[in-house]
Chains A and B, each alone.
Chain A
Amino acid sequence: MSRPLTCCIALCASLWSGAGWATPDPVAVVKSEVLPGFETLAEKAQVLEDAAQADCSPDSDALRAAWADAFDAWVRVSHLRFGPAEVADRAFALAFWPDTRNATPKSLQGLIAAEDPVVESVEAFGQVSIAARGFYALEYLLFDPAFAQESHYSCALTRAVARDTSEIAEAIFVDWQTFAQEFDAESDRYRSTEEALQELFKAVTSGLQFTSDTRIGRPMGSFDKPRPTRAEARRSERSIRHVRLSLEATESLALALAADAPKVAAEIREAYEKAFAEIDAQESPIFAGVDNPAGRFRVELLQAAVERVRTVVGAELGPELGVIAGFNSQDGD
């Protein structure tokens, strides 16, 4: 190759990278960062269904462990709120939270009080209020003293929720096999590689926002009115665990999107490291310290670290992918 041409290529390449055109293949990112997570969720949910069949008692170690594994798998994909997870309220039926009006315990109480025979068939249970389904409903049935009592009906209800959870997880995974092809440039759902990448990028930013505003923000409440009882999955003491799992999941996706931009990837990694360090510094697994100054300060540091991750991802990764949006388009009203 002649020298001037090499120079031109080098120059052009640097111009392009300056303009922000690191474009990983969205199909490859979906294969490595999305499909395995939904496959794991489907597998673990099947184990959960089997465990409930084998032993429905709320203090069964095997059942609680299977529920915890499947819940972990859900939290790891909970930022992927587009496509198959959004069909027919599936994601909400798996994960009805935050539950601002206590609809989950109310709906469960209603089913139990009536000994509603809806638990007897998969199809019928699929029509039950989404508040009485999924991982958070199971948490009440396994961990809340008001619900975690063995009775013939509560056993049938636990099995029905576990089976329904498994059905939904399986349906999402099956649909993802074909939906993954939509990320190909030839598909019509996304008109360009940038649009496909934007969907994945948005999953990172909205996942981070949910963790910051809701998983951390809800128990924080305000300084005058801390709300520790609003912590996610506090009955099973999983609140901080969910923050960690969700951050691990969005970090993995963000780094896959930043694969061609090592400097950006390094900045992202550094911001996440600080957030994980703040998680390690938490004293309560369920944000119980938000109502005292020292504990609250620790949680504030954690939230600030997650916000820092959001800022780095938004300001560095977005432009790198060419998906930066404008003053109005990225904002909402």
Chain B
Amino acid sequence: MLSRRGMLSGMVAAGLMPARGWSDVGAPRFLAAAKDGSGYALHGVSEAGESLFSVALPARGHAAAAHPERAEAVAFARRPGTYAVVLDCLSGRVKAEMAAPAGRHFYGHGAFSPDGSVLYTPENDFENAAGVIGMWDVFGGYRRLGEFPSHGVGPHELRLMPDGGSLVIANGGIETHPDAGRAKLNLPMMAPNLAYVSLSGEVMEVVEPPAGEHLNSMRHLVVDAMGRVALALQWQGDVAEAPALLMLHRRGEAPVWASAEGPRHDAMQGYAGSVSFSGDGMQVAITSPRGGRVQVFEAGTGHFVHEVLLEDVCGLAPGATGFVASTGIGGFHCIENGTARAMQAHKVAWDNHIVPIGA
């Protein structure tokens, strides 16, 4: 007998039904890429950490972008990847493939506009060592619409601001060229920044690290409904000299740099992999896979609250009130009140990021 799922996917493939929404695939709360045995897959994960579906990926993924309405995800190859696949999460089929234009590669991240009509992708114009933001027409089959400058080098991740009319971009500052793999070509001269850019490409505000901290690469970021931005950084200098790895910012205000004291901060090893606000919005946290810990701060002040030790942790997203975190050894944890509770242990290695759906 034909299963409901099989029948639905057949109808979708035949064009008999409109694209399905997230509720049709079990209403996952998160997307997360993982290594499963020898293969790679993108999972839809419930708030309780269960895998509701998984879709095979052609190679190791990095992060994904979740369409706000449709059960559709864009999975990016790891940088310096030149392709992304648009996955129908109901059928598991590849709906579209996106190839970076000549002279560009993706950084592994992307974000949809709130109405889901445009996908924005940070890209490297590697011959000119300049960051660009690509625009893709979602309803036109992920056709390239154009691009504009990211106003920095190495744009790693971006988000739509809640005003709907601007982007916030983490320009990592590190020059790379696909010929030299992931080698960092400009460390002494690197200049990271956080740039707010209008949807037509005009720069509106730029935040840079303080003098002497230009080796602090701005990499991953989140923004909440009030326009508060939290940024996770990766220090490229001597690990013992690492400055704060979390920056909190609001448009027009001075940034707040947040770190734990002394050895607690040192234990992060100069590397924050993911950043997230808590489900209740009161806290913000960063993960360090190298340090095997999650550090939690007050979202309002940036004051350190506590830390949770978790081996090979990297993925982080808002939970019901606190956070959820995933590890390279398969754990999907709920983090609340300074403790980690393993919700599920999967036989997969969760990759760098957990992407909330509908956030």
Contacts and interface: CB of A to CB of B under 8 A. Distances in A.
A189 B290 contact: no
Contacts of B349: 326-327
B241 interface: yes
A328 B312 contact: yes
A214 B175 CA distance: 13
Interface-centre pick from A220, A325, A333 (highest chain B CB count, 10 A)? A333
Interface-centre pick from B62, B129, B189, B313 (highest chain A CB count, 10 A)? B189
A103 B129 CA distance: 14
Contact of B182 (A83, A131, A213, A220): A213
Nearest to A100: B185
Contact of B108 (A89, A131, A329, A333): A333
A221 B179 contact: yes
Contacts of A276: none
A217 B311 CA distance: 33
B239 interface: yes
A44 B59 CA distance: 48
Contacts, number: 101
Interface residues of B, number: 45
Interface-centre pick from B263, B327, B328 (highest chain A CB count, 10 A)? B328
Nearest to B175: A100
A103 B189 contact: yes
Interface in B324-354: 327-329, 349-352
A141 B183 CA distance: 27
Given A221-B179, A328-B351, A333 B219 contact: yes
B126 to A, nearest CB: 10
Contacts of A92: 187-188
A296 interface: no
Given A96-B188, A100-B129, A217 B181 contact: yes
Contacts of B314: 328-329
B156 interface: yes
Given A82-B238, A213-B182, A130 B188 contact: yes
B241 A86 contact: yes
A82 B239 contact: yes
A143 interface: no
Nearest to A216: B180
Contacts of A326: 289, 311-312, 327-329, 349
Interface in A193-224: 209-210, 213-214, 217-218, 220-222
B240 interface: yes
B237 A86 contact: yes
Given A96-B188, A100-B185, A325 B290 contact: yes
A288 B328 CA distance: 43
Interface string B236-266: 0111110000000000000000000001000
Contacts of A100: 129, 175, 177, 185-186
B289 A214 contact: no
Nearest to B181: A213
Contacts of B79: 333
Interface string B94-135: 000000000000001000000000000000000001000000
A49 to B, nearest CB: 23
Contacts of A86: 237-238, 241
Interface in A47-104: 82-83, 86-87, 89, 92, 96, 98, 100-101, 103
Interface-centre pick from B108, B219, B312 (highest chain A CB count, 10 A)? B312
B29 interface: no
Contact of B35 (A218, A327, A329): A327
Interface in A304-333: 325-329, 331-333
Nearest to A85: B238
A225 to B, nearest CB: 8
A123 interface: no
B179 A83 contact: no
A21 to B, nearest CB: 18
Interface in A14-69: none
B292 interface: yes
Given A130-B188, A326-B329, A327-B351, A213 B289 contact: no
Contacts of B35: 327
A328 B188 contact: no
Contacts of A227: 179
B179 A218 contact: yes
A86 B181 CA distance: 24
B312 A101 contact: no
B273 interface: yes
Interface string B172-196: 0001011111110111110000000
B312 A222 contact: no
Interface in B279-324: 289-290, 292, 311-314
A222 B189 CA distance: 25
Interface in A100-118: 100-101, 103
Interface in B34-89: 35, 62, 79
B156 A333 contact: yes
A89 B313 CA distance: 31
Contacts of B351: 327-328
B110 to A, nearest CB: 14
B180 A214 contact: yes
Given A214-B185, A326-B327, A333-B108, 11 more contacts: A100-B175, A100-B186, A217-B181, A217-B183, A222-B179, A225-B179, A326-B329, A328-B273, A328-B328, A328-B351, A329-B290
7 contacts: A87-B241, A89-B188, A131-B188, A189-B240, A214-B185, A218-B183, A328-B273
- Which 4 A/B pairs are nearest by Cβ-Cβ distance? A327-B328, A326-B312, A86-B238, A328-B289
Interface of B: 35, 62, 79, 108, 129, 156, 175, 177-183, 185-189, 219-220, 234, 237-241, 263, 267, 271, 273, 289-290, 292, 311-314, 327-329, 349-352
